[in-house]
Amino acid sequence: MKTKSKCFDYLNHLKNIMLKVEETQWDNIDHSSKKLAETIQKKQSIFVFGASHAGIVAQEMFYRTGGLALINPILPSEFALNTRPVIQTSDMEKLDGYTKVVLNNTPIKSGDLLILHSVSGRNPAAIEMALEARNRGIFTIGITNMTYTKEVTSRHKSGKKLYEICDIVIDNCGDFEDSSMLIEGLGQKIAPTSSVIGCTIVNMILIRTVEYLLEMGIEPPVFRSANVDGGSEFNKIIFEKYKDQIHYM
């Protein structure tokens, strides 16, 4: 018999969010996947960016078994959670001009595609990168929390938020502030959902992109595990074949 705990409410809440994503965000996920497949078909490059915890989704997408080899993360160390003091990452997200410098030092060009993950969608880091990408002819996909972002103001000088800039926007269907569970005796909600749902969304994009590539007659460059016999050798062939679209080696 299950112990009475908010743990099970959290699991049910995640299930409900996933159902909402399925019911309301499929068209945007499908459109995003088609754009990824077309970008690969054109031999252009795909990049993904997220600051602080939003970067977990970027890490989910690249260099792992079962993943597309052509996903290039933009992971500046100043936004990484191993930064000390860690509160510096929050300051960096609010700093005007920095992500333009990051983009200037990233091998991204017109015709490429950039996925941006920002839960609140209000900080200059993701907004500035989206604006700069648009100016450079780069297609942008934003993953954000529409409930959250519509309840906060932009911290960017443009007054815009991420969802107002990107070519496609996918709502992670989460709660305001991202945390989701209230426990009696504690006023602050706990247990965020954006990492679980964000990773689910990008893996849906992965699956649909692979389906589109197969329809196009393109063999999807998908990694095997380096921990199985022959896995590393298989992956080396991918690295060589797609070296012009892989920028993290």
Distance from C-alpha of 117 to C-alpha of 54, rounded to nearest angstrom? 6
CB atoms within 10 A of CB 30: 15
pLDDT at 152: 98
For residue 201, the model assigns a pLDDT of 98
The domains located in the chain, with CATH, are: 6-241 (3.40.50.10490)
pLDDT digit string (tens) for the chain, length 249 residues: 567 899 999 999 999 999 999 999 999 999 999 999 999 999 999 999 999 999 999 999 999 999 999 999 999 988 888 889 988 888 888 888 899 999 999 999 999 999 999 999 999 999 999 999 999 999 999 999 999 999 999 999 999 999 999 999 999 999 999 999 999 999 999 999 999 999 999 999 999 999 999 999 999 999 999 999 999 999 999 999 999 999 999
Residue 14 and residue 22 in contact, taking contact as beta carbons nearer than 8 Å = no
The CA distance from 118 to 230, in Å, is 37
Distances in whole angstroms, Cα of residue 205 to Cα of each of 72, 107, 231: 15, 23, 24
Q: How far apart, in Å, are the Cα atoms of 158 and each of 49, 60, 106, 155?
A: 20, 30, 23, 8
pLDDT number for residue 2: 63
Q: Which of 112, 120, 163, 173 is nearest to 142 (CA)?
A: 163
Rounded Cα distance, 74 and 169, in Å = 19
Query: What long-range pairs does 156-162 form, CB within 8 A, spacing at least 24?
Result: 156/96, 156/122, 156/123, 156/124, 156/127, 156/128, 157/96, 157/124, 158/127, 158/131, 160/127, 160/131, 161/121, 161/122, 161/127, 162/116, 162/118, 162/121, 162/122, 162/126, 162/127, 162/130
pTM of the predicted structure, to 2 decimals = 0.96
What pLDDT, on the 0 to 100 scale, is given for residue 95? 85
Closest by alpha carbon to 209, among 31, 27, 37? 37
The pLDDT score that the predictor gives to residue 80 is: 84
Tokens of 21: 């994503």
